[in-house]
């Protein structure tokens, strides 16, 4: 009688152990979409395995081998996986022998990927429309960004227009100075007849001469020093420049030319066709 009771207790203990192991294995092989799960200590026969290459966007199950080590003539694996769609999958079908080794028949390791949606629902719930807050938040930031962008664009356009108008104005002014250089030089030279001219008048005289020859000798893009050097190197401009300097620095000379004679070469140059 005692022996029968002892045998019954042992049988019950074995059944409980097996059911508990089966329950743990079942729980271990179940998860939901996108939730990773580990399985440790799986022993598989044959050569050492690696994850089968597959585009991550197209595979139903993403598998990683965390660790593998020898187990006699077999290999023991610690694996991690997560499902990208619901269903039941064989974990070993996502593995292959390393280094091109000959594959062997492997026992199936089924895993269940459950859906994270309620039963009967195959699509996510539609998003509820939500308005942005009137004050603060993204709406205000977007509005300020748009206003800043528009103001910046208008500023750039205005600067370009002013720059273009300024360029045209400078060109028109230079052309006008060329045609009126004789009229503007005359009062300065008449003042020089009465005595030495001031530094300001001399600077104005040099500016008029330089502006006149800049257009004639195509010296618009060079500095004043380079332009003056070019004037002295030019045969016609150099002679007239030296002649004007001698006239200004010899106020008491009896051989001093008249103003009309001094300005006549400039009038002749202006009358030439351009």
Position 80 scores a pLDDT of 92
Task: Determine whether 202 is exposed, middle or buried from the number of CB atoms within 10 Å of its CB (0-12, 13-18, 19+).
Answer: middle
Nearest-angstrom CA–CA distance, 38 and 218: 83
Nearest-angstrom CA–CA distance, 24 and 18: 10
Nearest-angstrom CA–CA distance, 205 and 247: 13
Position 12 scores a pLDDT of 43
Q: List pLDDT tens digits, range 11-45.
A: 444 443 434 344 344 445 678 888 898 989 999 99
CA 266 to chain centre: 56
| Predicted confidence (pLDDT) at residue 109 exceeds the cutoff of 80 | yes
What single string gives the DSSP state of each residue in 89-110? Answer: EEGGGGEEEGGGPPP------E
CA dihedral 223, 235, 178, 187 (to 10 degrees): 100
Query: Mean pLDDT score of the chain, rounded to an integer?
Result: 76
Determine contact, residues 110/89, Cβ cutoff 8 Å. Answer: yes
Position 172 scores a pLDDT of 47
| Predicted confidence (pLDDT) at residue 240 exceeds the cutoff of 50 | yes
Q: List pLDDT tens digits, range 193-215.
A: 777 778 888 888 888 888 888 87
Residue found by looking up tokens 């409980």 in the block: 16
Tokens describing residue 216:
């004639």
Determine contact, residues 39/122, Cβ cutoff 8 Å. Answer: no
Nearest-angstrom CA–CA distance, 167 and 171: 6
Half-sphere exposure of 29 (CA within 13 A, CB side): 17
Half-sphere exposure of 193 (CA within 13 A, CB side): 12
Residue found by looking up tokens 């001031």 in the block: 198
Domains belonging to the chain, first-starting first, are: 2-114 (2.60.40), 169-271 (no CATH)
């Amino acid at each position: 009688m005692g022996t029968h009771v002892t045998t019954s207790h042992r049988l019950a203990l074995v059944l409980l152990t097996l059911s508990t192991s089966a329950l743990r294995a079942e729980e271990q092989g179940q998860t939901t979409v996108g939730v990773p799960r580990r399985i440790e200590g799986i022993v598989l026969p044959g050569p050492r395995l690696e994850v089968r290459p597959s585009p991550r966007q197209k595979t139903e199950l993403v598998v990683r081998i965390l660790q593998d080590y020898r187990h006699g003539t077999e290999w023991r694996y610690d694996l991690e996986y997560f499902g990208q769609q619901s269903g039941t999958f064989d974990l070993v079908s996502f593995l292959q022998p390393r280094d091109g080794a000959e594959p062997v028949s492997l026992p199936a390791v089924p895993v269940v990927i459950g859906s994270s949606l309620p039963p009967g629902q195959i699509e996510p719930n539609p998003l509820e429309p939500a308005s942005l807050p009137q004050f603060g938040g993204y709406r205000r930031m977007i509005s300020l960004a748009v206003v800043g962008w528009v103001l910046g664009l208008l500023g750039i356009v205005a600067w370009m227009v002013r720059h273009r108008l300024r360029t045209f104005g400078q060109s028109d002014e230079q052309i006008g100075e060329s045609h009126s250089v004789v009229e503007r030089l005359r009062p300065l030279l008449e003042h020089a007849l009465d005595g030495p001219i001031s530094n300001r008048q001399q600077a104005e005289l040099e500016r008029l001469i330089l502006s006149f020859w800049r257009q004639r000798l195509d010296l618009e893009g060079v500095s004043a020093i380079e332009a003056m050097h070019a004037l002295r190197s030019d045969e016609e401009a150099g002679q007239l420049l030296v002649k004007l300097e001698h006239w200004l620095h010899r106020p008491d000379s009896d051989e001093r030319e008249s103003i009309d004679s001094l300005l006549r070469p400039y009038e002749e140059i202006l009358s030439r066709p351009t």
